[in-house]
Structure 1
C-alpha cells in the first residue's frame, strides 16, 4: 500500500488528458478526411515513411549521422553569428562612448562661455528655421541685453564661428549667420536636428 500523502508518478488526471488529446486528434482527422478530400495527409505520411527509409539505409556513413552533423554545423554557425552580432552591438556602443569622451577631452572646437553658447543656439535656431538673425531677434531669443549680445557676437566672430553681413542703402541692416565651422559646432555640440 502506498504511504499516505505520497502521490503516484502517473496521475489519473495526466492519463485522462493525454487520452483526451489522442481521441480529439483522431476524431478531427477522421472528420476532416470524411468531409474534405485530404490527400495532403496521405502524401505527408508517405513522405515521412520515405524519409524514415532513407534514414535507415545502411551506408558506410549512416544518413541520420550525416543529418546530425549538418544540424550541429548549422547550430554552431547560428550561435557564432548570434554572439558576433551581440558583440558588435556592444562594441559599437562602447566605441560611441569612447568617441564622446575623446571629443570632450580633446575638443576640436573652442570652449565657449554660457552667453556664447546661448548665442550659438539662437543663431542655430534661426538657421534651422531659415530666419534672418538680426540683433533684435537674437536679443529677444536669448533674453540678454543688447550690449551683451554685441560683445558675445564679436567674440564668436573672432573665433570664426559667426559671420556678420552688413547691407548698405535705404533699407540697410546688419545680420548674423553661422560660418561652416559654426554650423559644424552647432551640429556636434548643440545636438540639433
Structure 2
C-alpha cells in the first residue's frame, strides 16, 4: 500500500516538474522577447510556432493526439519499469525471509544438544585439516570427559552423522569420522576456513 502511494507521488512530481519547465521556458522567452532583441530568441520562437502549426495540421489523426499517445506509452513503460525494479528487490527479500523461516521450522538436520554440536565441530575440524579423530584427540579438543565424549559420539552415530572405524593389527585404533550427512551438517553450520 505504501509502495503504491510512493508511485503516485513520483508520477505527480514528474508531471509537476515537466509543467513547471514549460511554464518557466515560456515566461523566460516572453521576458527575453520584450526586453532583449536576440536573433536566437527569434529562431526559437519561429521554430516553436512551426512546431505548433505542425501539431495543428489537419490529418486523419491530428499530430498532437499522436504525440500524446506516444507520450502516454512512454510514461506507462517508464512507470512499469520503475515499478518492476522497486518490487523486484522487495520480493527477493521476502523470499529470503520465507526461506529462513521454513528452514527454522523444518530443519534438514536433527536438533543437537550443545555437547553434540561441540563434538560435531571437533570432528569437522579434524576432517578439515585431514587429521585422524580418535577418542583422545577429541577429548582434548572439546575439554569433556571421556564418558561424555563416548556418549555423545554414540548419540551422533544413532543420528547417522558420525561413523566409527576400528582398525586391526599391531597399531589398532578406533577412529571417528563424519558421514556424508555429517559433512553436509558441518558445511552448513560451521565455518571451516
TM-score by length of 1: 0.59
Unaligned runs of 5+ in 1: 1-48
Q: Does the CA contact (< 8 Å) of 1:127 and 1:177 recur in 2?
A: yes
Answer yes or no: is the 8 Å Cα contact 1:122–1:142 preserved in 2. yes
Checking the alignment, whether the CA contact within 8 Å between 2:121 and 2:190 is kept in structure 1 is no
> Does 2:147 align with 1:152?
no
**Counterpart for residue 81 of structure 2:** 81
By how many angstroms is 1:121 displaced?
A: 1.5
Residue 113 of structure 1: aligned partner: 113
**Aligned alpha-carbon RMSD (Å):** 3.2
Large movers: runs of 4+ above 6 Å = none
CA distance in 1, matches of 2:128, 2:69: 60
State the Cα distance separating 1:191 from its structure 2 match.
Answer: 4.9
Matched, 1:127 2:127: yes
Is the partner of 1:133 in helix, strand or coil? coil
Task: Indicate the larger mover: 153-162 or 129-138.
Answer: 129-138
What do residues 60-90 of structure 1 show as CA deviations (whole Å, max 9, x unaligned)? 4466654554454334323323322332322
Q: Are the equivalent residues in 2 in contact too, given 1:164–1:174 (CA < 8 A)?
A: yes
Higher helix share: 2
Give the Cα separation in 2 of the matches to 1:111 and 1:84. 40
What is the CA-CA distance between 1:118 and the residue it aligns to?
0.7
